[in-house]
Amino acid sequence: MASLQRSRVLRCCSCRLFQAHQVKKSVKWTCKACGEKQSFLQAYGEGSGADCRRHVQKLNLLQGQVSELPLRKNRSPQRVAG
Ligand SMILES: [Zn+2]
């Protein structure tokens, strides 16, 4: 057992990616995927780092069934050429 550090599952308000972050005093956090800085609003899970990472994978898988994971691909919205 490594540490008592607790983590939370957070969701980016910009790219919608779930990710595990260590619990800090600050309410500010930065998305690992798109770098968006935001305030902590809601935790989708809480526990050890390993627990949270497992939960994150599950959530992102469920989400990925709708669309591909938005990892670093900045797709601009398609426009109808006029
Ligand atoms: Zn993001």
Give the Å distance between the CA of 30 and the centre of ligand 1: 8
Q: What is the pTM of this model?
A: 0.72
Q: Are the CB atoms for 39 and 23 separated by under 8 Å?
A: no
Residues within 5 Å of ion ligand 1, judged at the Cβ atom: 12, 14-15, 31, 33-34, 36
Weakest-pLDDT range from 4-8, 32-36, 40-44, 56-60: 4-8
Give the Å distance between the CA of 50 and the centre of ligand 1: 21
Q: Are the CB atoms for 18 and 10 separated by under 8 Å?
A: yes
Show me where the domains of the chain are located.
Answer: 6-64
The residue count of the chain comes to 82
26-48 pLDDT per residue, tens: 999 999 999 999 999 999 999 99
